[in-house]
Amino acid sequence: KWKQMVADDGRQSSSVLPTPSRFLLNLSKPTLPHPQWEEISVMDERNTPMRTYQVCNVMEANQNNWLRTRHISREGAQRVHIEIKFTLRDCNSLPGVPGTCKETFNMYYYESNNANLWFIKESQYVKIDTIAADESFTQVDVGDRVMKLNTEVRDISNLSKKGFYLAFQDLGACIALVSVRVFYKKCPLTVLNLAQFPDTITGGDTALVEVRGVCVNASEEFEAPKMYCSADGGWLVPIGRCVCKPGFEENKDGCQPCRPGTYKASATDAYCTKCPPHSSSPQEQAFECVCERGFYRAETDPRSMACTRSPSAPENPISTVNETCITLEWSPPRDTGGRGDVTYSLHCRKCSGDSRKCTPCGSSIHFVPRQFGLSSPTVLVTDLQPDSNYSFTVESQNGVSDLSPTPKGTVVINVTTSQTVSVVLKERRSKDSVTLAWQGPERPDGAIVEYEVIYYEKREQNYTVLKTRSNMMTVEGLKPGTTYVFRVRARTDGGYGTYGGEIELETSHEDVFPIGDPNQSTILAVSIAGGIVLLVFLVTCFVVSGRHCGYIKAKQDPDEEKMQFQHGRVKLPGSRIYIHPHTYEDPNQAVRDFAKEIDASNIRIERVIGAGEFGEVCSGRLRVQGKREIYVAIKSLKAGYSDKQRKDFLSEASIMGQFDHPNIIRLEGVVTKCKPVMIITEFMENGSLDTFLKKHDGQFTVIQLVGMLRGIASGMKYLSDMSYVHRDLAARNILVNSNLVCKVSDFGLSRVLEDDPEAAYTTRGGKIPIRWTAPEAIAYRKFTSASDVWSYGIVMWEVISYGERPYWEMSNQDVIKAIDEGYRLPAPMDCPVVLHQLMLDCWEKGRSDRPKFGQIVTILDKLIRNPASLRELANSSACREDPSTPELSVNTVDEWLEAIKMGQYKENFSSAGYVSLDSILYISVSELAKMGVTLAGHQKKILSSVENLQSQGTHVQV
């Protein structure tokens, strides 16, 4: 037994604990009776007394010494962490100890609602782990303070009772237990997007805890805010947001009232704005500004519009009398009141006699286009009575006239309608002329300007108009022996009067002139011909443009576009293009063209290894003439299949058979001539990549993982070069062989629709594996090699996180929303910065901004050649992106590139001659591209940092 121990300071060194966390236990409180464990006071290096628990019965066999804690309340946590600090003596260092000496001890727990259990049977405990020391110590040298303190952390998950007891079992080791700390992790209270998320205890296993945020004061929900609390106490995936209520604007993490003189009308407006003209807000928190006296706001006026007033009166009225019709015209008001919606209304009164007694006109007169709400300053009034006085009031109004107590602006127009000309006929007739005479009106409304004589041949349509200033006229050039009708009217300053009565006169007999104008008929003929030509032209245009539209539409249809490629019509010289099996009228011919028929007797099936969509997948051997036996996977088509199922099943072979690449699963052949129909492929010993990674969690080096990713990227480059779009690239569809070589598989035509359990129906119909699919493919089925690149980014994330489910347990809808709002998966644990950056590049919103598979292969090759570039981890606290550390001082180009996480381009910069920080200040995209920085995302990142450099000297935004 030792009496003095090397120990840490017994109080907590919070630096080893992740914040936020909450302690449940400190071993400073005594535990229950523990006869073999001794509670000993020792001094730490600062001479502070502290207690340890020790046991060291190494000389005797059959030890079973228990040390138990008091009841530890779990305070609602489902998962707690236990950190123990201890020293453990190396058995070899103890002279003469028997072989029963141990170098481990066991840790247990027992869940219970009872906080005062006196005794717990050994068999009731659940074992947490056997604890061994990383560093056992061979000598105790307190004087030199040789610290050989071990720290181990273990978790217990899914706790459900009030609390638990911890126990330590010694089976014959030499142990000093220096500290035991029990804690759980919380996501700390935080405010994001104006929503407050409470202190949240992390979930039981790795599951995320979904937390609804509460809008902060003076804000309201725009879209339900929520976030997920991750197992290690971090907040993930903010969705939705709150917005400041009307009258408030956002300020840091809250909402502040609008200052006097400003207002905010709607919650969705970002900021308070100055009151519009003729309005003010004397108080804080205004959601609208009050109009000044005499100014108004119509109900439909936006709050941002200036307050307005009613218009002034119309001006410059003019009337034109035309018999019993009057045209009234006026100019718009000088002051429209600040609005564009001025209209006019008319009121008519008929005034009788000299007394000018006026009464409303009634409904017998008509206004064209209308009497009220005229938008142009003119109106035609019809059906007035001749020789009468009328008074028209024209009123101007606008959207706020009804709100204004002041009378509307008006102008009055008085008009007298014309009197008829009473013609007194003085007739003189010859064979080709007639002379008429008349008397003017008795009370003309103004001086008579002229008379108008109209005449026409009786029963004919064409008439002739003649004008004269005198009271008589001789009409010449008439046909002999023909009856004509004559009428006369007077024109005064006020307009035309009405016609007098008709007078019929017959000329004396003579020769008859031919009628009809040959020129007119010519014009008519030309018009008809022109009309026909025009019609033919229009019809032709319609047909042509109809065809044209149809063509454009077809061209824009992504499927059509794809079909063009698949039919091999767009073929680049020297490149092999994948041929879609649908191109074949007879799908069996596609199978014959691309897959070798294998004699079933050469296949030996050994065991079932999986279940495919169409039947079992088995492993077995294939004997190929002249070659040694090879291991193969055999997919068979279950009995009772339909024609379509057979076609779909074999389509995978006719697609796979066109590929020949080390990272694409190789087709050995098919069996179609006898039943069951089979597809034979090379055998991949380690099965699908997702299951394989989960099974080997944490067991590979980064270089091995990057090697796998490189293989997948290379296979995908081959497929994209052949214009094949995979559409369902995911770790579950990658197979791994015994040499860790990854190969892309799953090429069936129906696979995305029926086979993939991850595929979900989208609102546009069709099934899509949402978590792996690019937004444009989800939204409008734009599947391209660039959408395959997005999926590849997700595969990278799956690989580095050893088969973690992308976006954890979030719903598909939440994933779509989060991606749309710009959220991207964070770096998995221990993920090199460069790899996470590459993932983010693959998840660029614009598909042309994503890297091509060829570029991905080049990047990964570089990383493999230079493993040091993988050393910097994305989630090591020192380099985590943190907006609160806005600046970093850098002195060299290399330091700068490291600071903005573009360290992989150091060589490119130095060999291009960019050696000092000054030299990069005016670098351009084309120069970046020239020196080999070709990814759009990286170019953007570098150039935006250069901008910062320009504005901040050498303080770089990171």
Q: Which residues are catalytic?
A: 728
873 DSSP 8-state letter = B
Crossing angle of the two packed helices 833-842 and 936-952, in degrees rounded to 10: 110
Query: CB of 702: closest distance to ligand AMP in angstroms?
Result: 26
The annotation status of 609 as a binding-site residue, yes or no, is yes
DSSP-assigned states of every residue in 19-69? SSEEEEEETTS--S--SSSEEEEEE-TT--EEEEEEEE--SSSS--EEEE-
Give the number of other Cβ atoms within 10 Å of residue 912's Cβ. 18
193: left (phi over 0), alpha (psi -120 to 50) or beta: left
> How many whole angstroms separate alpha carbon 737 and alpha carbon 633?
12
Query: CB of 712: closest distance to ligand AMP in angstroms?
Result: 15
CB-based contacts of 476: which residues, under 8 Å, 6+ apart? 432, 433
| CA 246 to chain centroid | 26
| Residues of the shown chain interacting with ligand AMP in the complex, contacts defined by CB under 6 A | 609-610, 612-613, 617, 633, 665, 681, 683-684, 687-688, 735, 745-746
The annotation status of 367 as a binding-site residue, yes or no, is no
CB-wise, 230 or 654, nearer to ligand AMP? 654
Please choose, from the candidates 102, 86, 184, the residue with its C-alpha nearest in 3D space to the C-alpha of residue 135. 86
Query: CB of 630: closest distance to ligand AMP in angstroms?
Result: 12
Token pair of 580 as six digits:
């879609």
CB-based contacts of 44: which residues, under 8 Å, 6+ apart? 7, 8, 9, 10, 50
> How many whole angstroms separate alpha carbon 896 and alpha carbon 921?
12
Give the number of other Cβ atoms within 10 Å of residue 185's Cβ. 24
Query: CB of 644: closest distance to ligand AMP in angstroms?
Result: 17
Token pair of 523 as six digits:
């014009």
> How many whole angstroms separate alpha carbon 491 and alpha carbon 446?
9
Query: CB of 748: closest distance to ligand AMP in angstroms?
Result: 8
Helix (H, G, I), strand (E, B) or coil at 240: strand
Contact between 225 and 242 (Cβ < 8 Å)? yes
766: left (phi over 0), alpha (psi -120 to 50) or beta: left
Token pair of 189 as six digits:
């209270």
Token pair of 610 as six digits:
């999986």
The annotation status of 614 as a binding-site residue, yes or no, is yes
> How many whole angstroms separate alpha carbon 686 and alpha carbon 634?
15
CB-wise, 140 or 609, nearer to ligand AMP? 609
CB-based contacts of 69: which residues, under 8 Å, 6+ apart? 25, 27, 31, 165, 166, 167, 180
Give the number of other Cβ atoms within 10 Å of residue 433's Cβ. 14
Helix (H, G, I), strand (E, B) or coil at 386: coil
Please choose, from the candidates 893, 863, 853, 881, the residue with its C-alpha nearest in 3D space to the C-alpha of residue 800. 863
Query: CB of 687: closest distance to ligand AMP in angstroms?
Result: 4
Alpha-carbon separation of residue 883 from 232, 879, 887, 957, 958 (angstroms) = 20, 12, 9, 9, 8
Query: CB of 617: closest distance to ligand AMP in angstroms?
Result: 4
Contact between 900 and 922 (Cβ < 8 Å)? no
The annotation status of 329 as a binding-site residue, yes or no, is no
Contact between 782 and 776 (Cβ < 8 Å)? yes
Count Cα atoms within 13 angstroms, Cβ side, for 527.
6
Give the number of other Cβ atoms within 10 Å of residue 550's Cβ. 10
| CA 303 to chain centroid | 30
The annotation status of 616 as a binding-site residue, yes or no, is yes
Query: CB of 686: closest distance to ligand AMP in angstroms?
Result: 8
The annotation status of 617 as a binding-site residue, yes or no, is yes
Q: Provide the edge-to-edge strand list for the sheet that holds 195-197.
A: 190-192, 195-197, 214-215
The annotation status of 610 as a binding-site residue, yes or no, is yes
Helix (H) or strand (E) run with residue 131 in it = strand 126-132
Crossing angle of the two packed helices 518-556 and 558-566, in degrees rounded to 10: 70
Block residue for tokens 């039943």 = 675
> How many whole angstroms separate alpha carbon 501 and alpha carbon 906?
106
Query: CB of 606: closest distance to ligand AMP in angstroms?
Result: 12
Give the number of other Cβ atoms within 10 Å of residue 204's Cβ. 16
The annotation status of 204 as a binding-site residue, yes or no, is no
Q: Provide the residue type at 849 as one letter.
A: D
> How many whole angstroms separate alpha carbon 708 and alpha carbon 838?
15
- Which residues are part of a known binding site? 609-617, 635
- Which residues are part of a known binding site for ATP? 609-617, 635
